[in-house]
């Protein structure tokens, strides 16, 4: 007999066979979002956000459709053009505002400095180039092994945050992030490149070093330019013309070089460097520039480097006879270092590959040069004649028509104005502050 307990409130209720949902409240779908927005001041934050966005888009012009114009130079800023602009090398991105024909930054725009490496930057020409680049506001990295360069040439930049000095031989690879490469590293004087000819031809092998510097060094710097998208400038030389049969020499002249002579480590090294430079330009798309430098003089030259101007000046200051090789009728053209630096910078910033002759077309025989040195230092200076050296060119004079037309460049400093500045520098370095023998330096 079973029993069943029934608790109060648990009485069984009749169950309906159909389910009837609860009737929705009217306007519930509208009032619920409103109540949500009014809780915890959410509406205030939304209104503040809308106000800030309105101010920003009102005050800042949209860059998707605008165009910036500077005279005849227009920079489109559309989003479709940006995709094309981003494909250009890093160098073009950083210099878009100053790489047009006049070479000047538009009024109101501050030029953005470039990151530039100068190989051989502690040398004669390199240190003057570094001065100009630093003055322009660029960040400069000097790479030099101090074979012919001197730390004193760049010491005045120590402490400047935009200047770096690396003791390094360019025959070994180097990894840097830069926009431009000025490749000046190579012994340029006969005394230096004949001392180690193999390294000369590799660096560009001096006779070993000079060729090594010219070839391997140039190869390493071209590889760096290719990796980082930098523009590369090779400082070649008038020696690529050898003992020329054409006078004056134009850039299209192929030269007359003795490939097995004592000067060939330098001559052929530079010719090989030019070949490598153009191969990287044509084959790998590297932006390159080639300058063929003629005889250059000025402060910071090596005193005993064997070049004719430094020889004559040092000998005259020391009261030694000036050494003239051969009959002294060989001709050379002499440009002051500031003119050369201006030409190199114009070439780098321009749109032409080259090669370009950079030199002063004023032509002097060795005896005429000795006469100018006498006028500047000591009217009583003597001349001593010695047998001529092997493969010494008889004539050397640049045709600079191409540089005038395409770079707007020509030398400004005459020999009689530039030589006293060099003499003053040599006098300080040879004698200190003491002035010898009543020599004058106009």
8 Å CB contact between 184 and 235:
yes
Please report the pLDDT score of residue 216 as a whole number: 87
The candidate with the shortest Cα–Cα distance to 222, out of 130, 271, 284, is: 284
pTM: 0.70
Alpha-carbon distance 172 to 169, whole Å?
A: 6
Please report the pLDDT score of residue 186 as a whole number: 76
Please report the pLDDT score of residue 1 as a whole number: 45
- Token pair, residue 89, equals 């090398």
Please report the pLDDT score of residue 436 as a whole number: 42
Please report the pLDDT score of residue 200 as a whole number: 42
Of residues 435 and 145, the one with the higher pLDDT is 145
Does pLDDT of 184 surpass 90? Answer: yes
CA atoms within 13 A on the CB side of 394: 6
Alpha-carbon distance 299 to 301, whole Å?
A: 6
The candidate with the shortest Cα–Cα distance to 271, out of 190, 189, 355, 192, is: 355
- DSSP structural state of residue 79: H
CA atoms within 13 A on the CB side of 392: 20
Please report the pLDDT score of residue 25 as a whole number: 62
For the segment 249-290, what is each residue's pLDDT rounded down to a tens digit? 999 999 888 888 877 777 788 898 999 999 999 999 999 999
Alpha-carbon distance 38 to 58, whole Å?
A: 29
Does pLDDT of 142 surpass 60? Answer: yes
Please report the pLDDT score of residue 267 as a whole number: 79
What is the CATH number assigned to the segment(s) 115-301+335-361+397-413? 3.40.50.720
- Distance, C-alpha 352 to centroid of its chain: 15
Alpha-carbon distance 238 to 311, whole Å?
A: 20
Does pLDDT of 438 surpass 80? Answer: no
The candidate with the shortest Cα–Cα distance to 355, out of 294, 312, 283, is: 294
Crossing angle of helices 218-228 and 264-284, rounded to 10°: 20
The candidate with the shortest Cα–Cα distance to 421, out of 265, 299, 259, is: 299
Please report the pLDDT score of residue 17 as a whole number: 55
Alpha-carbon distance 48 to 221, whole Å?
A: 56
Of residues 116 and 92, the one with the higher pLDDT is 116
**Residue-by-residue DSSP string for 262-275:** TTHHHHHHHHHHHH
| Sequence spans of domains, the chain | 115-301+335-361+397-413
Determine the average pLDDT of the residues in 165-178. Answer: 93
Helices and strands: H and E segment counts in the chain: 15, 16
Determine the average pLDDT of the residues in 396-422. Answer: 96
Please report the pLDDT score of residue 45 as a whole number: 77
Catalytic residue among 266, 280, 297, 336: 266
For the segment 1-34, what is each residue's pLDDT rounded down to a tens digit? 445 555 555 555 555 555 555 566 666 666 777 7
Please provide the distance, in angstroms rounded to a whole number, between the alpha carbons at the two ends of the chain. Answer: 142
- Token pair, residue 232, equals 């590369």
For the segment 281-328, what is each residue's pLDDT rounded down to a tens digit? 999 999 999 999 999 999 999 988 888 999 999 999 999 999 999 999
Determine the average pLDDT of the residues in 37-65. Answer: 74
| Mean pLDDT for the chain overall | 80
Of residues 178 and 436, the one with the higher pLDDT is 178
Angle among Cα 57, 61, 64 to the nearest 5 degrees reads 100
397-434 per-residue burial string, b: 16 or more CB within 10 A, e: under 16: bbbbebbeeebebebebebeebbebbbebbbebeeeee
Please report the pLDDT score of residue 141 as a whole number: 97
Of residues 164 and 240, the one with the higher pLDDT is 164
- Token pair, residue 364, equals 């002097």
Alpha-carbon distance 249 to 230, whole Å?
A: 30
Please report the pLDDT score of residue 5 as a whole number: 53
Please report the pLDDT score of residue 256 as a whole number: 86
Please report the pLDDT score of residue 220 as a whole number: 93
Ranges 14-28, 75-89, 353-367: which has the least confidence: 75-89
The candidate with the shortest Cα–Cα distance to 148, out of 200, 182, 188, is: 188
The candidate with the shortest Cα–Cα distance to 136, out of 154, 102, 163, is: 163
- DSSP structural state of residue 122: T
Please report the pLDDT score of residue 16 as a whole number: 53
* 266 part of the active site: yes
Please report the pLDDT score of residue 258 as a whole number: 83
């Amino acid at each position: 007999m079973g029993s069943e307990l029934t608790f109060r409130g648990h009485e069984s209720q009749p169950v309906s066979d159909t389910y009837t949902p609860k009737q929705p409240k009217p306007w519930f779908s509208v009032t619920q979002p409103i109540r949500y927005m009014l809780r915890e001041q959410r509406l205030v934050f939304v209104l503040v956000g809308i106000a800030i966005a309105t101010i920003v888009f009102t005050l800042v012009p949209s860059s998707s459709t605008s165009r910036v114009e500077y005279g005849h130079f227009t920079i489109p800023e559309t989003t479709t053009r940006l995709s094309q602009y981003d494909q250009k090398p890093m160098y073009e991105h950083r210099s878009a505002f100053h790489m047009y024909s006049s070479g000047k930054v538009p009024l109101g725009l501050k030029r953005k400095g470039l990151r530039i490496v100068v190989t051989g930057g502690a040398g004669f020409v390199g240190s003057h180039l570094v001065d100009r680049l630093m003055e322009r506001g660029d960040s400069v990295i000097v790479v030099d092994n101090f074979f012919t360069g001197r730390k004193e040439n760049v010491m005045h930049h120590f402490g400047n945050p935009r200047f770096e000095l690396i003791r390094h031989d360019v025959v070994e690879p180097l990894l840097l992030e830069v926009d431009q490469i000025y490749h000046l590293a190579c012994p340029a004087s006969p005394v230096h490149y004949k001392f180690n000819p193999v390294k000369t031809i590799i660096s560009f092998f001096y006779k070993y070093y000079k060729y090594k510097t010219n070839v391997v060094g140039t190869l390493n710097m071209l590889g760096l330019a290719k990796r980082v998208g930098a523009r590369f400038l090779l400082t070649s030389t008038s020696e690529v013309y050898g003992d020329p049969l054409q006078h004056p020499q134009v850039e299209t002249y192929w030269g007359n070089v003795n490939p097995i002579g004592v000067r060939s480590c330098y001559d052929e090294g530079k010719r090989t460097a030019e070949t490598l430079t153009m191969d990287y330009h044509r084959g790998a798309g590297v932006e390159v520039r080639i300058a063929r430098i003629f005889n250059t003089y000025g402060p910071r030259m090596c005193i005993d480097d064997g070049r004719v101007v430094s020889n004559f000046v040092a000998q005259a200051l020391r009261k030694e006879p000036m050494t003239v090789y051969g009959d002294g009728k060989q001709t050379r053209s002499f440009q002051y270092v500031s003119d050369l630096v201006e030409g190199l910078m114009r070439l780098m910033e321009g749109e032409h590959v080259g090669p370009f002759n950079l030199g002063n077309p004023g032509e002097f025989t060795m005896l005429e040069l000795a006469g100018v040195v006498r006028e500047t230092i000591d009217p009583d200076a003597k001349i001593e004649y010695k047998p001529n050296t092997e493969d010494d060119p008889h004539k050397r004079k640049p045709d600079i028509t191409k540089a005038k037309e395409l770079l707007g460049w020509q030398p400004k400093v005459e020999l009689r104005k530039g030589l006293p500045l060099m003499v003053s520098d040599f006098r300080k370095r040879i004698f200190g502050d003491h002035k010898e023998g009543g020599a004058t330096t106009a």
